[in-house]
Amino acid sequence: MTTAAPARTSFLLGLFGAGIGGSLTPAMQEREGFASGLNLTYRLVDAERLGYGAENLAEMLDWAQRFGFDGLNITHPFKQVVIPLLDELSDDAHDLGAVNTVVFRDGRAIGRNTDWSGWGRAFRRRLPEAVSDRAVLVGAGGAGSAVGYALLEQGSAHVSIVDVDVEKAQACATRLAKRFGDDRVRATTDLAGALASAQGLVNATPTGMTGHPGLPVPAELVREDLWVSDVVYFPLETELIHLARSRGCRVVPGGGMAVFQAVGAFEYFTGVEPDAERMVRHFEELTS
């Protein structure tokens, strides 16, 4: 599969999702584009503001291609429903059943996933010693699938998946088991029991995001010996991360995933390898 960009310096990109007004992705992508010598424009297309739903997705993709977009990042709630509308999928996007990066090349829409690699890179940057730990993953949507894939790909001994939608959790576990084996991943409704035998907890639900306050798990289950990660980065210090810090847990906030998924997407869109540490510094400036 080839998604390398043509040798040029001007790019039009965007982010499509619902309630994305606070996203830092445009600023990160445009700043890195400038630093890399590119003329890169990145726009938000907020489905919530436009009144768009899944039924408008095909129209939106067609519109983006007709108006000369080189690619789109796709976020909640469209990462899974976009798949049937694409011409081609990378192997990881196919395995995950979720796409967060669509590259337009030669009239074709190619789906990729940089969420899993972004989360994994951010995790290993913070907790390289914990890559083989048993973990509990709360949330089985697009972000949850990506985190589960990353955990297993980097060597987690076992991942237990919990979701309020039991069927969704089972579907996520079944999909991951096809790639990594039945003995390493399972869906469960017993959150407390799963956490009792785990070393880590990841929140991959919107709970804790601005507009969705609260904790994704009961506070009493957050033990001091757990490491805790969140995919939410707006705010960066979610209620879960704040609670975990207060109890002495090692934490991996959602900002790392936000940065490193953008690092991967930038290279797919432009064919230029970005300076990842420069993007980390810029993100820290934006959130300080």
- What pLDDT was estimated at residue 189? 98
Q: Which tokens belong to 95? A: 């395995």
Binding positions for NADP(+): 91, 139-143, 231, 254
CA distances from 128 to 133, 151, 159, 224, 241 (A): 11, 12, 17, 19, 19
The Cα–Cα gap between 163 and 68 comes to 39
For the annotated binding site, the residues are 23-25, 75, 91, 100, 115, 139-143, 231, 233, 254, 261
Given a contact cutoff of 8 angstroms between Cβ atoms, the answer to whether 273 and 22 are in contact is no
- What are the binding residues for shikimate? 23-25, 75, 100, 115, 233, 261
For residue 211, the model assigns a pLDDT of: 86
Pairing of strands 135-138, 200-203: parallel
pLDDT at 210: 84
217-242 average pLDDT score: 96
What would the pLDDT profile of 23-39 be if each residue is shown by its tens digit?
899 999 999 999 999 99
Helices (H) and strands (E) in the chain, counts: 11, 12
Provide φ and ψ at 138, rounded to 5°: -100, 115
**Res. 3: pLDDT tops 60:** no
The alpha-helical segments, DSSP class H, found in 181-254 are 191-196, 239-246
The radius of gyration of the chain from alpha carbons, rounded to an integer in Å, stands at 18
Q: What is the mean pLDDT of the chain?
A: 95
| Burial class for 152, CB neighbours closer than 10 Å (0-12, 13-18, 19+) | buried
- In this prediction, residues 271-277 reach a mean pLDDT of 97
Catalytic residue among 31, 79, 158, 250: 79
Contact 178, 204 (CB under 8 A): no
DSSP 4: P
pLDDT of residue 34: 97
Q: Is the pLDDT of residue 193 over 80?
A: yes
- pLDDT tens for each residue of 125-163: 999 999 999 999 999 988 899 999 999 999 999 999 999
Residue partners of 181: CB distance under 8 A and separation at least 6: none
The string of DSSP letters for 46-89 reads EHHHHT--GGGHHHHHHHHHHTT--EEEE-TT-TTTTGGG-SEE
Those residues whose C-beta lies under 8 Å from the C-beta of residue 54, and which sit 6 or more positions away, are 77, 78, 81
- Give exposure, 225-261, as e/b (b: 16+ Cβ within 10 Å): ebbbbbbbbbbbbbbbbebbeeeebbbbbbbbbbbbb
**Known catalytic residue: 178?**
no
Closest listed residue to residue 204, CA positions, set 124, 277, 96: 96
